[in-house]
Amino acid sequence: MSAAVREGWFGPFGGRFVAETLVPALEELERAYHEVVPSEAFQTEWRSWLASYVGRPTPLGRAERLRTHLPGVAHLLLKREDLNHTGAHKINNALGQVLLAKKMGKQRIIAETGAGQHGVATATACAVLGLPCEVYMGELDVARQAPNVARMRMLGARVVPVTSGSRTLKDAMNEAMRDWVTNVATTYYCVGSAAGPHPYPSLVRDLQRVIGDESRTQCLELLGRLPDAVVACVGGGSNAIGIFAAFLDDPSVALFGVEAAGHGIASGKHAATLTAGRVGVLHGSKSYVLCDDDGQIIEPHSISAGLDYPGVGPQHAALHDSGRATYLSATDDEALAAVRDVARKEGILIALETAHAFAALPRVADILRERGVREPAIVVSVSGRGDKDLSTLLEKLEVT
């Protein structure tokens, strides 16, 4: 399960479906992925940045007050990616890719962003490593994620609002790829999720695997054993595949991804690709997508900008079809309630993306019980903090 049968493929998913113009750039990146990224020099430099700049390792802490509301659960442990510099898991990948781009001799970095966390992370990495940065962001997301837009601009990045389509993450990625085609010789496209054409799904997974490797070590230290389940929210899927990767070869560890059900699956206004999508090609990769009978992409919906995407990383598609991971979904309302619940029980203001994972915890506990797992230990990836969502939270929740 942990390796693709064919290079760039996860079973029937993945591949490289792009314009001919981009093939040489992807082949160049593939060589760098195989030769530079595993090298001792790269790993030493990247991990030094993670330790001294990002603040890794992040803690794995208990959530006792939340746990008491999950009957039968013995341990609820939170992997605190929200405590990273820039406030989310995205910095792990951004620093790695921008460092790689610099070693490849690239002169300019572009990125796409939905919730703004990858944009902030890429702008941060570019600032500290001395490269210019442009971030494509859907016009709708620019409005609902204003604090992150301001942060990117303060960091010196140029934010480009995208006015086409649904004006969200899908359209931002479209524009970034158009830019890359035009400026492929000098520009590096820093993809934020474990999606896109090969080698991006594997590269992003490997850079985010630090989450899973730390969680595994910390759980063994804290409990003396592996967890019974790992839970993470899934849009494109980078935080989820990052934490899942360290446990893929441990069949005793159940893996749960939680997608955005929006207004409900039956409403059609959702972003639950694995729950209600079909196989297709989007942004250079074969995976599950939200599309109609003619293969046209259906606009997704989620209150969380980072999950508002009509596709999913190809490795998640393979894990779904094989049954190695279970994918659930949570609605906007359930996510909003989870934000309030976690804040008032644990004193942690989580991102709306992250809140989907917390909203599904009662169902995860029920599934584990049905599978005969007694007094389980559950690890949740706290992928990001909720400061960026305050305007939405104040609008949607009665905060008294």
According to DSSP, the residues that pair with 291 across neighbouring strands are 297
Residue 257: exposed, middle, or buried by beta-carbon count in 10 A (0-12, 13-18, 19+)? Answer: buried
385 is written with which tokens? 């903090």
Catalytic residue among 90, 106, 170, 388: 90
Decide if 90 is catalytic: yes
> Rounded CA gap, 353 and 336, in Å?
10
Catalytic residue among 30, 81, 112, 134: 112
Query: Sign of torsion, CA 105 110 113 116?
Result: positive
3-state secondary structure 211-234: HHHHHHHHHHHHHCCCCCEEEEEC
> Rounded CA gap, 120 and 155, in Å?
8
> Rounded CA gap, 223 and 317, in Å?
31
For residue 208, the Cα-to-chain-centroid distance in whole angstroms is 9
> Rounded CA gap, 113 and 121, in Å?
10
Positions marked active-site: 90, 112, 383
